[in-house]
Amino acid sequence: MAGKAILWWRRLYWFLGVCGFLAALSGEEKERILRAVEEDREFRYALMGLLGFREVLDRITVLEERLARVEERMVKVEEALAGAVRALEKLLREMDSEKRRLERIERILGSLGRRHGLGLERLVLEAYRDLLERLGIDVYRVEKLRLVDREGRVFGVPGQVVDIDVYLGDDVCWLVEVKSFADREDVLLHYHKAVWASRQLGRRCRFVLVAVYVTEEARRLAERLGVDIVAGYVVSG
């Protein structure tokens, strides 16, 4: 491969020398060359080879220009990618900061709940009482329901106790799940529990998940499953 490259450059160097030589010829000398082209077949073929080589050089020049433009575009793509990576890293830092903030809120709410005899779930329900009342839910009548899953339909293990909050209105039954932070898995679990619990109660119930924070993915999934969402903040994730 290296030998071919050396040979190519030698031919190029020779060709450039020939070009310089032809440029220095007089008119009479050029006429003799033209006659030789007409009369000498071997000379004519040699000259045609030189002209073809020049065409190859022109094509190489075009390819080099195209390659330079491709390299410029690649640089721009790399810069854009680096910017996207920086934006993602910033978002991850913000999410981590938000998670720590949520953990602090949970500790504060838990402390307040212990002091005043209220659990975290009750505090969250109180915080979103106005939104829940629009759905027809009286937060003061939401009660904890404990059912035994004898067949293991919910968790896959027979005999497990399933806890779920329930509000029994005059004409509607609401099965309620309260979380400080709800993601896609929380929505799936609540839906699975609520479907099973509504069958145990023998009533057609509506499902609602109440959370301080809910992910956008969880919100979209809840909408598809028919689960109402009451949340303070919708976050990416």
Same-domain check for residues 63 and 137: no
> What's the pLDDT at 50?
59
Q: What is the mean pLDDT of each run of 10 residues along the chain (237 residues)?
A: 46 50 59 63 61 62 80 86 85 78 66 58 85 90 90 87 87 89 93 93 92 92 96 83
Same-domain check for residues 53 and 155: no
Residue 191 lies in a domain: yes
> What's the pLDDT at 237?
64
Residue 88 lies in a domain: no
> What's the pLDDT at 38?
60
DSSP string covering the chain? -HHHHHHHHHHHHHHHHHHHHHHT--HHHHHHHHHHHHH-HHHHHHHHHHHHHHHHHHHHHHHHHHHHHHHHHHHHHHHHHHHHHHHHHHHHHHHHHHHHHHHHHHHHHHHHHHHHT--HHHHHHHHTHHHHHHTT--GGG-EEEEEEETT-TTTSSTTEEEEEEEEE-SS-EEEEEEEEEE-HHHHHHHHHHHHHHHHHHTS-EEEEEEEEEEEHHHHHHHHHHTEEEEEEEEE--
Same-domain check for residues 30 and 127: no
Residue 137 lies in a domain: yes
Residue 151 lies in a domain: yes
Residue 81 lies in a domain: no
Same-domain check for residues 149 and 49: no
Residue 35 lies in a domain: yes
The domain boundary residue, chosen from 46, 69, 92: 69
Total number of domains constituting the chain: 2
> What's the pLDDT at 16?
47
Residue 159 lies in a domain: yes
Answer yes or no: pTM beyond 0.75.
Answer: no
> What's the pLDDT at 93?
82
> What's the pLDDT at 2?
46
The domain of 171 spans 120-235
